[in-house]
């Protein structure tokens, strides 16, 4: 599921590249399964920061429902999100 449209390619986290360079070094992605995430860190243009604990939510909800809520949140705040 793409969270933002259009979704530019991004590099995997540095710790993954360092741990498995043969797999991740030249890899660019445009999606990430929600079940692979631990925390989603969102920075807003006004300096506010949210950290959404995905792993905790996975113990309570399905990956699809979490992805849907995250997508809705990103769409709702897209004009205020810095990164």
pTM of the model: 0.62
Residue by residue, pLDDT tens for the chain (83 residues) are: 444 445 567 777 788 788 888 878 888 777 778 888 888 899 999 999 999 998 888 889 898 899 899 889 989 999 999 88
Q: Are 30 and 2 in contact (CB under 8 A)?
A: yes
Backbone φ/ψ region at 41: left (φ over 0), alpha (ψ -120 to 50), beta: beta
The pLDDT value given to residue 49: 95
Beta bridge mates, 49:
43
The pLDDT value given to residue 8: 67
């Amino acid at each position: 599921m793409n969270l933002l449209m259009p979704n530019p390619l991004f590099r995997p986290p540095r710790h993954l590249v360092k741990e498995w360079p043969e797999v991740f070094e030249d890899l660019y992605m445009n999606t990430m399964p929600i079940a692979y995430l631990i925390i989603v860190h969102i920075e807003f243009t006004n300096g506010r920061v949210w950290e959404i604990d995905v792993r905790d939510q996975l113990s309570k909800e399905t990956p699809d429902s979490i992805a849907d809520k995250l997508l809705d949140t990103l769409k709702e705040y897209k004009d205020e999100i810095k990164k």
